[in-house]
Amino acid sequence: MPKIHELSETLTNQIAAGEVIERPASVVKELVENSLDAGATRIRIDFVDAGLKQIVVQDNGTGIARDQVDLAFTRHATSKISNEHDLFKVATLGFRGEALASISAVSHVEILTATEGAIGVRATFSGGNKKGQEDAAARKGTKITVRDLFFNTPARLKYLRSPRTEIMKIVDIINRLALGYPQVSFTLSNTGKILLRTTGNGNLKQTVANVYGRHIAEGMENFSTKDNDFKVSGLMSKPELTRSTRNFISILLNGRYIKNFQLNTAIMDGYGSKLTARHYPIVVVSIKVDPLLVDVNVHPTKQEVRLSKEKELSRLITTAISNALVEKVEQTDAFANLENKRETLVDQLQLNLNQDVVNTARKKIPEVHDQADKPEFLTTKPEENKATETKSDAQYVDLNKPREDDKYIITKTWDQNVSRQQQLTPFSSSVADQEVISNGDETLANNLPRLAYVGQTDTYIIAENNGDLFLIDQVAARRRLQFEKTYQMIAAKKIVQQGLLTPIVLEFGNLDFIQIKDKIDQIKQIGIHLEDFGQNSFIVRSYPTWIQNNVEETIRQILDGYLNLDKGKSNNLFKRVAALEAKKAIKGKIQLSAAEAKQILTDLRKTTDPYHDASGRIILVRMSQNELRKMFKKDD
């Protein structure tokens, strides 16, 4: 076994860096947290090449004295704690004393700092070693420049993700810090382009507007509550404003962004059943608590903490959000909107099946009191009665024997009817005039029989086929037809543009802006042409003609669909867009002429699913002859 020896300071710093500095976003987090702990009210962050080439963090905090610069880059040197008792009441974001030492161990670092009324100092470090120090003119505060991250640990680079992903992680960290410190002005830029700028006026809603966009901030409501240990406040989105991931839920404990599954669950419990499946709200929860009730020294990145009275805090958060929803948000509980279970394919196929193969109507058989009253086929010979004296007098019908006096048993025409039925097909053999669709959809589309128009109420079209009665919801039917028209237009990419007299400017949060810009070519396929207008905004100069009205609102809803799109499900997006437009275009019932109603019945047969609109709402119901007879109690 090799001899035990003490590791060099450079190597220990690189090992420590492996725990704290995972990616460029980790560097940004540590440096900005130091700025906040230094009392800065203005912080500027600039980075180049996703932070690998250069990261610059500048603040107006207290600065570092010239004789303490070397200590600041030494492991386990900090101004945040003095003894073991301080670990139980940590009120700052950083306290481990490893950030600057770890960063300088894997990069080239330059620091320019000055305290109030003192001469500034500039120092350089590389690979954990100090390279030089000199006096320099500087304002109060600190400016740290990190270049060539991981230059001496290239193996670390292969674990990084794409530049876009690394940029989004940096943006996400600054977003959380900005939400936790609305009284601090943040400016974040990528290669000179501003990604985030907050005013620092202490208004959380305005900070949310800077981070997520004005449109989202306007749709959020305040909530607050407190007890003897916790004070909870923040902003929450209305139930209809959601995202497809939990990434837009921010839990800020004394300004520190934390990850906590139980508190996340408490937030969702506050919304109850008002959220649709796999959709999550946009929430900022600020929790103020005595530091003695929190242990932040459980994880190197300090994003996971231990909380005393966590269950009590969870109940407090759930109650605060639930009460705010009742007071400020008018929203029907989701259980009130549940529909009946959707009919199966087997149920749909029955529409066109021959009803006369087996008629299940049964005539009443009079009760049997004595042998004389029994029908011939239930009587037995005397010798048979002797053999069955101990058995019940009740006899059973031989179901395999054809008879005419009971329709519950096989009739003489059974074989003939079965033969006829086998020659029938539940769907047409000719689909030349229809688009290629899946087998299930094709079965549904061609299974609807030709309906003869009978009449209409103000809501329903009445039709019949072979004595069966059909009720058609005219709104759902028109939405299905509008959906088919819009979807075919988008899928065929034959989209006509209509120019706007006044262009529309759409503002977004930085994360949403990056995601939409990444999908801009895909969005163009549906006829929405977005131009980068700077400051996390797009300009729209024309729109596709399939958008009927409320152009800006419709485009925003479509773009929200892209933001909420689950990975690997982009093929369904055209249908979602068409369904959205169909619902907006057909808002309610109208007065139909007989010719218009007949045309709807004709066109409905050509759709991919004539039984449901794009949102799954039932279009028609059918009452068969037998059901109608039962309603009127016609047994004969």
CATH number of the domain encompassing residue 274: 3.30.230.10
Looking at residue 110, which CATH number applies to its domain? 3.30.565.10
pLDDT for 571 equals 53
- Whose structure tokens read 């180049």? 48
Task: For the beta carbon of residue 555, count every other beta carbon within 10 angstroms.
Answer: 20
Beta bridge partners of 46: 56, 189
498-521 pLDDT, tens per residue?
Answer: 888 889 999 888 888 888 888 888
**What is the number of structural domains in the chain?**
3
Whether 345 maps to a domain, the answer reads: no
Final residue belonging to a domain, choices 180, 197, 214: 197
Whether 337 maps to a domain, the answer reads: no
Residue ranges in the chain modelled with pLDDT below 50: 331-395, 406-408, 425-445
Whether 380 maps to a domain, the answer reads: no
Q: How far is CA 587 from CA 207, 364, 453, 478, in A?
A: 36, 51, 24, 10
Whether 351 maps to a domain, the answer reads: no
Does 501 share its domain with 612? yes
Integer Cα distance of 212 and 508 in angstroms = 6
- Whose structure tokens read 């999908």? 519
Final residue belonging to a domain, choices 178, 197, 216: 197
Task: For the beta carbon of residue 150, count every other beta carbon within 10 angstroms.
Answer: 18
Written as six digits, the tokens of 110 are 């330059």
Q: Are strands 185-190 and 42-48 parallel, antiparallel or unpaired?
A: parallel
Does 526 share its domain with 499? yes
Please, what is the Cα angle at 424 between 419 and 426, to 5 degrees?
140
Final residue belonging to a domain, choices 289, 308, 331: 331
User: DSSP label at 618?
Assistant: B
Whether 184 maps to a domain, the answer reads: yes
Does 169 share its domain with 71? yes
Whether 290 maps to a domain, the answer reads: yes
User: The pTM is what?
Assistant: 0.67
Does 164 share its domain with 231? no
Does 218 share its domain with 190? no
Q: How far is CA 315 from CA 220, 320, 569, in A?
A: 21, 9, 36
Written as six digits, the tokens of 126 are 């590389």
Does 108 share its domain with 172? yes
Does 174 share its domain with 269? no
Integer Cα distance of 108 and 147 in angstroms = 5
Does 26 share its domain with 76? yes
pLDDT for 477 equals 92
Are 164 and 150 a contacting pair, CB within 8 Å? Answer: no
Whether 349 maps to a domain, the answer reads: no
Are 179 and 284 a contacting pair, CB within 8 Å? Answer: yes
Does 236 share its domain with 139? no
Does 160 share its domain with 267? no
Whether 405 maps to a domain, the answer reads: no
Residue environment code for 301-336, b if the CB has 16+ CB neighbours within 10 A, otherwise e: ebeebebeeeeebbebbbbbbbebbeeeeeeeeeee
Q: What is the DSSP string of 517-563?
A: HHTHHHHHTTT---EE-SSSEEEEEEEETT--S-HHHHHHHHHHHHH
Does 116 share its domain with 154? yes
Does 141 share its domain with 191? yes
Instruction: Tell me the residue range of the domain where 529 lies.
Output: 473-622
